[in-house]
Every structure is written in C-alpha cells, then in structure tokens.
Structure 1
Amino acid sequence: MEKIRLRAAALIIENEAILLVEYNNDEEEGVHYNLPAGGVEPGETLVEAAIREAKEEASVEIEVGPVAFVYEYQPAKNHYIYGDVHSVGITFACKRKEGSVPRQPDRPDSHQTGVKWIPLAQLNSIRLYPEITQDILDYYAGGTYRNYIEEHEIQREKR
C-alpha cells in the first residue's frame, strides 16, 4: 500500500510581500524559495504542523486561518522529479502574530540561507517550489484561483 506524506504550509502575506524561506543547493538548482512548510509529525494536526514549521523555519509565531491551497505530488505522474514519496500539502492562509519578527532560525536546515519578505510584484523573478507563483498571485488578487493543484498539471503547463 502506498504511503502518503502529509505536509502543512503557512502562506503569510503582508504589505504586498510574501514571507518565504530561502535555500541554496549549489549543486542542484541554486537559490530557490519555499513557503514555511514541512511534514506532519505523529500525533500532530495539520494546523499544529503549520505553526511548528513557521517557528522552526522562520522563527515566526502565526495564527492559522483557512485553507488556501491543497497541493498534491504523485511520483509516477511526475516521472519522480521530486522523489518517490506521494505527498499532499495543505497551505493555510496565516497571519503573523503582533510583535513576532521573522528571522533565520538558530539551527536552520543545512541548505537554508535566509528568511525573506519577497514583494508580490517580484514573485515571478524568483524560483519558488512548488511552482505556484501564479496561484498565489491569483489568490491574493481575490478572484477565482486554482485551490487544488496537482504537480503534473504544473509540469504540463511548463512544456
């Protein structure tokens, strides 16, 4: 039976900028960004995971709001580009708690190089994983947007 990894992410937008975690894998794709996110641990809810990941990756305290996106990566449908683990990520619209200032954590992941506010107007000029830039911009604009995203649809659009 195929196991599915559950992930939780925090979408934090303030003053037309989005809070992202910066990574640099020199040997692979170079500088890229992710929402504060990670796997749900045993005994933890998705909301608890979003809170913990925001704290661990961006040293920020958040209030978790409604689900903004559901993202699914199915390895066989994507030629295993991101490994062989089927994963489903729930991204919550979150707010930074007053007085909490995002910063690089004391013990970041070995490839993590920063925590940055990226203006939404510059979002198209960076490498964001998963590649949901347009979905985020559509969501922020308040109109219709794709709230369920399959990685193989992203890959099809890139071709």
Structure 2
Amino acid sequence: MTYHIRVRAGSFILQNDCILLVEFNDQNGAHYNLPAGGVEPGESVKEAAKREAKEEASVDVEVGELAFVYEYAPHLSNSRYGQTPSLGMMFEASILHGVPSLSATPDANQTDVKWIPLSQLNEIVLYPNIKQHILEYVKQKRPARLIEEHTLSTYN
C-alpha cells in the first residue's frame, strides 16, 4: 500500500522502572522498538495501539494518554528509514491481561519482548532513537493531548 504519510500507533508501557520493548535482529543487528505499527482502515489510533500491543507483545492493554508524537520526514533525514513519511503516536498504556512474550506469529526479525530497566536504556539501540525523550517524559510526566472527535459535543 502506498501512503502520502503513514500513521502509526503504539504503546508506551512502564512497570517497575522498566519499559516494555520489542527486540529485533536484522541487517542492522540487535535493536528495539516500542510495540507499534500502522493504523489499519476503519481503526482509531487507540485501537491500533491496543492491537499492536497484542500482536507484538501478547498483552491486552488499557490505552491512556498520548505520550509522544513522532514524525519521520525522509527528505529531512537522508531517507534513513525509507521513502515513506510517517507520523507515530505513542500512548501510555498499562497491561490488563497477559505476560509479555513473542506472539505465535511474530513480525519478521522479531526475536523477543523484554522489560528494559530505564537505568539501562542508554545501553541499547532503540529505533527511533528517542531514549532521552523517554527518560525526560518519565521524569516530567507531561503527556501530549489527543482530542478525539467522537468525544466532542455535536452542534444542533
């Protein structure tokens, strides 16, 4: 599918001073991502965040506040992640059910799901490299605001 801009959604899950990350091993070596992926047609960004947590980490989550909005603009980034621009929305989330683990059908090159201590975050490779943003967010706890159309009053 081609996109003018791809919309992605994901979960930012913290527990006991650790963050839940998906581990991959590919031509770039071992690296991590937040559980996230593309929003599908007919799906809200929060629904996509829930689905991606289930698909990538085998957990059911309650999606909370918007923590980050991440933009990838290829023309400003030497196309390091390809030619498709994207906008990623990462939501605070908490686990309702399940134990984080690989799903029965993991993504290509996905090798594990791990709790990484925040104190060790700077020792790993995280794509995108938002490690400092994560640490600042945890320290200041100022979520972004997402206004959802379906929650607004309508005009008569």
TM-score after normalising by structure 2: 0.87
Distance 1:88 1:65, change over 3 A: same
Structure 2 match to 1:16? 17
Size of the aligned set, in residue pairs, is 142
Matches within 5 A, 1:66-145: 66-97=65-96, 99-142=97-140
Cα RMSD of the aligned pairs, angstroms, is 1.4
Partner of 2:152: none
What residue in structure 2 maps to residue 54 of structure 1? 53
Task: Give CA deviations for 1:65-99 in whole Å, capped at 9, x if unaligned.
Answer: 010000000111111111000100000011111x4
Q: Which runs of 4+ in 1 moved over 4 A?
A: none
Percent of pairs identical after alignment? 54
Q: How far apart in 1 are the matches of 2:128 and 2:41?
A: 24
Aligned position for 2:154: none
Q: Is the 8 A contact 1:58 1:105 kept in 2?
A: yes
- Give the Cα–Cα distance (whole angstroms) in 2 for the partners of residues 105 and 67 of structure 1: 25
Asked whether the 8 Å contact 1:7–1:39 carries over to 2, the reply is yes
Question: Residues 54 and 143 (structure 1 numbering): CA distance in 2 closer, same or farther, change over 3 Å?
Answer: closer
* Cα deviations by residue, 1:5-40 (Å, 9 ceiling, x for unpaired): 000010000000000000000xx2100000000000
The secondary structure found in structure 2 opposite 1:68 is strand
Q: Which residues of structure 2 form unaligned runs of 5+? A: 145-156
State the distance in 1 between where 2:141 and 2:89 align: 20
Contact 1:138/1:144 (<8 A) preserved = no
Q: Structure 1: any 5+ residue segments left out of the alignment? A: 148-159
CA contact (8 A) 1:72 1:87 kept: yes
Instruction: Report the Cα offset of residue 144 of structure 1.
Output: 6.7
Q: Aligned with 2:7: secondary structure?
A: strand
Counterpart CA distance in 1 for 2:89 and 2:108 is 24
Map 1:22-37; keep pairs closer than 5 Å: 22-25=23-26, 28-37=27-36
For the 8 Å contact 1:57–1:108, the answer to whether it is kept is yes
The one-letter amino acid paired with 1:102 is P
**Aligned letter for 1:19?**
L
Q: Deviations over 1:118-153 (max 9, x none)?
A: 0000000000011000100011112679x6xxxxxx
CA distance in 2, matches of 1:100, 1:81: 35
